[in-house]
Amino acid sequence: MLINTDGVVLRTVKVGNGDKMLTVLTRDNGKISCIARGACSLKSKKLACTQNFAYSHMSLSKKGDRLSLEQCELIEDFYSIGSDIEKTAVAGYMAQVCEYVTDESLGGEELTSLLLNCLYVLSKDGTDIKKVKAVFELRTMTAIGHMPDLEACHVCGAETGEMLFSPQGGVISCAGHGGGGLRVSPAALNAMRYICACADRRIFSFTVSAECLAELAALCERYTLAQLDHRFSTLDFYRTLTAGAPSV
């Protein structure tokens, strides 16, 4: 049986004598694992397509429960990301999150498009890494059914005034009903609302101050980690690179 699909390589592991085991996020089949035989060789036609973050058209053969990469055609390698250690760390974090939240039945088309969009933006010169990371985190939570309720205080319905955000509950509250939530400025709250609700092609079409972006980045990270209840080694590494950055 031959399966044709487009996918992004999330993780590679060298196995055997020059082979690679790939974890791939595909549009049609969600997250899959496949063996790429001989892909470690510098002469292999599969070499470029089997690097981390490579996006390719893939032809896979299936035998029992095992998938093997037979042919591949590179669409985009995002090579420039590798020249910046912070971008590489964030790309690795995004890949690790995608691997954690997806399986064969979940996350194909929507998360593949989101990841590709974020990788494209991340690969450009002058990109604000914090903005890409925050958009990816909040939009991923929305895609997997954890969109926060940001319309009004979840207790009294107040829509204005000082608001607090609960990463655990995914709700906002007015100051009188906050219950220990994190303070969220009107600008950061509006940015979060925008990211959750806007069209896919518009997810980066907003502008905030540097101070607001720092707040937004901290809030989106806190929310993602609270909802997934999982530690990501790539995020830990990214934090070592940005030690001293403002946090909420």
- Is 158 found in the same domain as 186? yes
pLDDT digits (tens, 9 = 90+) for 12-70: 999 988 999 999 999 888 999 999 999 999 999 999 999 999 999 999 999 988 999 99
* pLDDT attached to residue 49: 97
- Is 167 found in the same domain as 138? yes
> In which band, very low, low, confident or very high, does the pLDDT at 246 lie, cut at 50, 70 and 90?
very low
- Is 146 found in the same domain as 186? yes
Mean pLDDT, residues 123-140 taken together: 96
Mean of pLDDT over the chain: 93
The CATH code of the domain that includes 7 is 2.40.50.140
Length of the chain: 248
Contact partners, residue 42, CB within 8 Å, separation at least 6: none
Tokens of 200: 């896919």
Is the pLDDT score of 197 beyond 60? yes
- Is 161 found in the same domain as 70? no
Q: Tell me how far the alpha carbon of residue 161 is from its chain's centroid.
A: 32
- Is 112 found in the same domain as 58? no
Q: Domain containing 70: what range?
A: 2-76
Last residue of a domain, one of 41, 76, 111: 76
> In which band, very low, low, confident or very high, does the pLDDT at 248 lie, cut at 50, 70 and 90?
very low
* pLDDT attached to residue 105: 65
The CATH code of the domain that includes 159 is 1.20.1440.120
pLDDT digits (tens, 9 = 90+) for 162-191: 999 999 999 999 988 877 789 999 999 999
Confirm whether 27 is domain-assigned: yes
> Residues of the chain with pLDDT > 90: what percent?
85
Tokens of 43: 């002469």
Count of structural domains, the chain? 2
* pLDDT attached to residue 172: 95
Last residue of a domain, one of 27, 56, 76: 76
> What distances in angstroms separate CA 23 from CA 6, 109, 130, one per listed residue?
13, 16, 26
Mean pLDDT, residues 64-91 taken together: 95
Is the pLDDT score of 137 beyond 60? yes
- Is 116 found in the same domain as 53? no
CA distance 221 to 81: 21
* pLDDT attached to residue 106: 63
pLDDT digits (tens, 9 = 90+) for 93-112: 999 999 999 987 665 889 99
Last residue of a domain, one of 51, 76, 101: 76
CA distance 159 to 124: 37
- Is 168 found in the same domain as 56? no
- Is 122 found in the same domain as 41? no
Query: Hey, how many other C-beta atoms are within 10 angstroms of the C-beta on 17?
Result: 9
Residue type, 225: L
Residue 149, φ and ψ in degrees, nearest 5: -95, 105
Q: Which ranges of 105-209 would DSSP assign to H, the alpha helix?
A: 108-122, 129-143, 186-197
Mean pLDDT, residues 77-99 taken together: 97
Contact partners, residue 128, CB within 8 Å, separation at least 6: 213
Is the pLDDT score of 134 beyond 50? yes
How large is the C-alpha radius of gyration of the chain? 20
* pLDDT attached to residue 244: 55
* pLDDT attached to residue 247: 43
Q: What is the pTM of this model?
A: 0.93
Is the pLDDT score of 144 beyond 90? yes
Confirm whether 182 is domain-assigned: yes
Tokens of 151: 């319309």
Is the pLDDT score of 239 beyond 60? yes
8 A C-beta contact, residue 168 and residue 226: yes
* pLDDT attached to residue 199: 95
Confirm whether 246 is domain-assigned: no
Contact partners, residue 86, CB within 8 Å, separation at least 6: 129, 238, 241, 242
- Conformation bin of residue 37: beta by default, left when phi > 0, alpha when psi is -120 to 50: beta
Confirm whether 212 is domain-assigned: yes
> Residues of the chain with pLDDT > 70: what percent?
97
Residue type, 159: E
